[in-house]
């Protein structure tokens, strides 16, 4: 399947009604496929992705296209036998161009780069969709993105504002990412022997280290960032989200001593171990799992909002501990 690259007028390219997200939307809603409805189908109107997974949200994509004055990767279009042009990959990018054009956003949004194929068969269209969305290029992991951002900023002297524009994200997040990479390289890498695997998955711990609260607690307690890196390497802090709990642990003399010897989980138990009555202790795992599910599903919205505002809440800590135990347990069952 070879196509030719062209710059196509955006008003002549049709959005793909067979696109899985658009088709799913059409199954639930009746009426004309207006641009507003397409925006809902493609989730273009709001930033709803989980950044920690490395996905590019619609809002970040819009910002990046705006900063670059266009797209770097052409959309893919199928020219049908009757001459119609249908976008089979890149519907979100096409919609953004149309939206910029209709709202008079500065720039030329009347044409969009495209790879045009002639009268593709159904199986060929499916192959393109699968490659693009299921088995296509993988998103960079957080460490790799931070490394690239650091190199652009410090080696190639790219201004931070320009870097933020190109990433399509938030200045604070980009700065945290760059600083976390620098801390990891300065304090974590030197703990590894030349042939020892360098666990870049631990990067999230160094992102949490960018919190002034965490950093101050470490230094105020007489420890160094080298100590922190060693705690990460030795798995004194197994769940990296637990880094947020360091201020509580290091601020208590007894918990601090237990942490250095046995790790974060033991130290947190010293601080506060919730009382569990005999009825709960005698309940089966199945009973506890069912009740926990019911409790979580019935949590009031106000309580969810409160937990969002207080990530250090004990309830979240116990839930994270439970999640880690369940993940390990279920992984054992799959072996």
Answer yes or no: is pLDDT of 28 > 70.
no
The reported pTM is: 0.58
Answer yes or no: is pLDDT of 310 > 60.
yes
Contact predicate 13/114, CB 8 Å: yes
Residue 258 falls inside a structural domain: no
Distance of CA 98 to the CA centre of its chain: 27
151 shares a domain with 123:
no
Tally of CB atoms within 10 A around 168: 19
Structure tokens at 69: 């004055």
pLDDT at 2: 78
Residue 271 falls inside a structural domain: no
83 shares a domain with 20:
yes
Distance of CA 327 to the CA centre of its chain: 20
Answer yes or no: is pLDDT of 230 > 80.
yes
Residue 114 falls inside a structural domain: yes
Residue 253 falls inside a structural domain: no
147 shares a domain with 126:
no
CA angle (303, 242, 227) in 5-degree steps = 155
- Domain that residue 205 falls in: 142-210
In terms of C-beta density within 10 A (0-12 exposed, 13-18 middle, 19 or more buried), how is residue 110 classed?
A: middle
188 shares a domain with 111:
no
pLDDT tens profile 112-141: 999 999 988 887 887 787 677 665 555 678
Domain count, the chain: 3
Residue 150 falls inside a structural domain: yes
163 shares a domain with 119:
no
Which of 210, 240, 261 is the last residue before a domain boundary? 210
Question: What's the whole-number average pLDDT of the chain?
Answer: 84
96 shares a domain with 9:
yes
Confidence band, pLDDT 50/70/90 cuts, at residue 312: low
Percent of the chain with pLDDT over 90: 37
pLDDT at 83: 94
161 shares a domain with 108:
no
Which of 113, 133, 153 is the last residue before a domain boundary? 133
Q: Where are the alpha helices (DSSP H) in the chain?
A: 20-28, 35-42, 58-68, 91-102, 122-133, 142-150, 160-167, 171-183, 203-208, 212-220, 225-233, 246-250, 253-262, 264-271, 278-282, 285-297, 301-309, 314-334
51 shares a domain with 19:
yes
What whole-number distance in Å separates Cα of residue 245 and Cα of residue 317? 9
pLDDT at 170: 81
Residue 226 falls inside a structural domain: no
Residue 215 falls inside a structural domain: no
pLDDT at 6: 93
- 93 φ, ψ to 5°? -65, -40
pLDDT tens profile 137-194: 556 788 988 998 898 899 888 888 888 877 766 889 999 999 999 999 999 999 999 8
153 shares a domain with 102:
no
Residue 257 falls inside a structural domain: no
128 shares a domain with 199:
no
175 shares a domain with 111:
no
72 shares a domain with 32:
yes
pLDDT at 177: 93
Answer yes or no: is pLDDT of 272 > 90.
no
Q: What is the DSSP string of 289-307?
A: HHHHHHHHHT--HHHHHHH
In terms of C-beta density within 10 A (0-12 exposed, 13-18 middle, 19 or more buried), how is residue 298 classed?
A: exposed
Confidence band, pLDDT 50/70/90 cuts, at residue 49: very low
Is the model more confident about 239 or about 253?
253
Which of 99, 133, 167 is the last residue before a domain boundary? 133
Tally of CB atoms within 10 A around 264: 22
Contact predicate 18/99, CB 8 Å: no
């Amino acid at each position: 399947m070879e196509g030719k690259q062209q710059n196509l007028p955006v008003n002549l390219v049709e959005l793909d009604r067979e696109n899985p997200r658009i088709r799913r939307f059409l199954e639930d809603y009746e009426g004309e496929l207006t641009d507003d409805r397409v925006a809902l189908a493609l989730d273009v109107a709001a930033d709803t992705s989980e950044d920690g997974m490395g996905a590019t949200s619609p809002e970040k994509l819009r910002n990046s296209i705006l900063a670059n004055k266009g797209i770097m990767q052409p959309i893919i279009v199928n020219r049908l036998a009757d001459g119609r042009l249908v976008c089979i990959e890149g519907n979100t990018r096409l919609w953004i161009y149309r939206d910029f054009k209709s709202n008079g956003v500065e720039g030329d949004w009347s044409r969009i780069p495209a790879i045009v194929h002639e009268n593709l068969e159904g199986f060929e269209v499916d192959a393109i969709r699968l490659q693009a969305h299921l088995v296509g290029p993988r998103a960079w992991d957080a460490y790799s993105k931070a490394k690239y951002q650091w190199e652009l900023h410090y080696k190639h002297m790219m201004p931070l504002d320009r870097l933020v524009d190109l990433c399509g994200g938030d200045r604070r997040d980009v700065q945290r990412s760059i600083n976390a990479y620098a801390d990891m390289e300065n304090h974590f890498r030197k703990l590894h022997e030349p042939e020892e695997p360098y666990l870049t998955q631990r990067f999230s711990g160094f992102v949490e280290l960018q919190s002034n609260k965490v950093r101050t607690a470490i230094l105020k307690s007489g420890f160094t960032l080298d100590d922190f890196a060693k705690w990460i390497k030795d798995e004194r802090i197994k769940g990296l989200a637990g880094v947020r709990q360091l201020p509580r642990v290091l601020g208590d003399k007894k918990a601090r001593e237990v942490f250095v010897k046995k790790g974060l989980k033991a130290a947190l138990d010293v601080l506060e171990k919730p009382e569990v009555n005999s009825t709960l202790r005698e309940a089966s795992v199945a009973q506890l799992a069912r009740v926990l599910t019911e409790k979580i599903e019935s949590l009031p919205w106000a309580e969810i909002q409160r937990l969002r505002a207080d990530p250090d809440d004990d309830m979240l800590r116990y839930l994270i501990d439970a999640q880690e135990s369940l993940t390990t347990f279920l992984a054992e069952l799959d072996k």
